[in-house]
Amino acid sequence: MADDRRPVVCLLAYNEEARIAEVIERIVSGNRDSRPLIRVYANGCTDRTHEIVEAIARDDPDVELVVLEKPSKPDAWNRAFHDHQGEIVIFADADVLPEPGAVAKIVAAFERHPSAEIACCESWPLLRGVAFEQIVTGLLQIPLRQDFLIGHFYGIRRLAFQRHFEALGSDGLPAGIAGDDAFLDQLVPRDRFVLVDAKVRYEPPSFDDYYRYLGRIRWQNEQIRQYNRQRGLSGRAVSADGRLSGAAEKLGGTRNPLRLMLGVTTTAARLLFKRLKRREIDAAYHRIGPVRSDGAWVLSEATRSSSVK
C-alpha cells in the first residue's frame, strides 16, 4: 500500500517494452520535487515489459511492478484504484512522455479547485522523428478544445469517484468497458474538470492504425450508450469520434485565438478525412464485432496500434 501523503502515478502497461523505461525516467527526472511513487500495472504483457520494470525497480525504490495476468485496462485501472487510498490518484498510459512538473501541477490543480474531480494534462502528438502518415494523423487528432478527459496522464479525486461508482452499484469501472476514459469523463460535470497547464506527448498512429482507432472509438461509445440505456442513465452525448458534442460551447470557451484557429482547422480536416475514409473506418469497426458488455479485450487485442510500438 502506498503512503497516502505521496503522489502516486499508476502506469497502465500492455506490451510497452519499446518505451516503458523512457516513460519512467521522464516521470522520475521531471518530478523529483514531488517524489511520486510509480507503480506499473502490467496487464497481460507477453513482451519484456516485466523484465525492464523489474530491473529499474531494483535500483529505484520509488518504482514498483504489479503483474496482472489478464490483458485488461479496466481491470488494471480498478486494481490501481483500490490499491491507493489517498485523496489524489494519478493514472497514465505507459507509452506517453509528460513534461517536467506534470505531477506537481496535477496536485496543485486539485488544491486550487477544491470541487475538481479530474485534472487532465494537455495531450499533444509528437510531430518530430515520426513518419509522414503519423504527422498527418497527429494533426487530425488535435481537438477543437480539450474539455474532456484524454486518458494519457490525469489525476482523479478518489473519494468523488468512489461515490460515482457507488451510485452505479459498482466498486469501480465496469469490468467489460472498453472506453475507460470516456466512461469516467461522462460521470463528471464540466465545472469539475480541470485542464492542467502541462503537456504530455504521444506518438500518433499510422493511417491503418488510425482507421482501427476510429472504429474502436465508435464501438466503445456505442457500448457506453448501451450501458447507460440499460441502467436508465442519461450520460452526456458522445459524438461519432468520441468527443463530447457542443461545438458552439467549445468555440465560446477557447480564449487563445491561435489555439482556436488550430482547433477549427484540425476539426474540419478530421471531418473531411472521416468522410473520405468512411469505408476503411467502417470496415475496422465491423471487424471488432457486435457491441456487447464484455469489451475489455477490445483495446489490447482488436485495435491496439502496431505503428507506435
Cα distances from 272 to residues 87, 144, 155, 265, 268, in angstroms, run 43, 15, 33, 11, 6
The three cell numbers locating residue 149: 478527459
The three cell numbers locating residue 137: 494523423
Domain 8-302 CATH assignment equals 3.40.50.300: no
Residue 62: pLDDT band by 50, 70, 90 thresholds? very high
Q: Give the separation between CA 115 and CA 85, rounded to whole angstroms.
A: 18
DSSP code, position 234 = -
Span 84-109, mean pLDDT?
96
Q: Partners of 43 in the beta sheet?
A: 68
Instruction: State phi, psi for 38 to the nearest 5 degrees.
Output: -110, 115
Residue 163: pLDDT band by 50, 70, 90 thresholds? very high
124-147 burial: b if 16+ Cβ within 10 Å, else e: bbbeeebeebbebbbbbbbbbbbb
Domain extent listing, the chain: 8-302
Q: Give the separation between CA 158 and CA 146, rounded to whole angstroms.
A: 22
151 CB-contact burial (10 Å; exposed 0-12 / middle 13-18 / buried 19+): buried
Lowest mean pLDDT among 2-6, 14-18, 76-80, 138-142: 2-6
Residue 302: pLDDT band by 50, 70, 90 thresholds? low
Cα 91 to chain centroid, rounded: 8
| Single-letter code of the amino acid located at 221 | N
Distant-in-sequence, close-in-space partners of 235: CB < 8 Å, separation ≥ 6: 186, 224, 225, 228
69 CB-contact burial (10 Å; exposed 0-12 / middle 13-18 / buried 19+): exposed
| Single-letter code of the amino acid located at 59 | D
198, 99 Cβ separation under 8 angstroms: yes
Helix ranges (DSSP H) in 14-101: 20-30, 49-59, 73-83
Q: Partners of 238 in the beta sheet?
A: 244
Query: What is the per-residue pLDDT across 250-290, written as a single tens digit (0 to 9) for each?
Result: 555 556 888 889 999 999 999 999 999 999 999 999 999 99
Instruction: State phi, psi for 121 to the nearest 5 degrees.
Output: -70, 155
- pTM for this model (two decimals): 0.90
Residue 307: pLDDT band by 50, 70, 90 thresholds? low
289 CB-contact burial (10 Å; exposed 0-12 / middle 13-18 / buried 19+): exposed
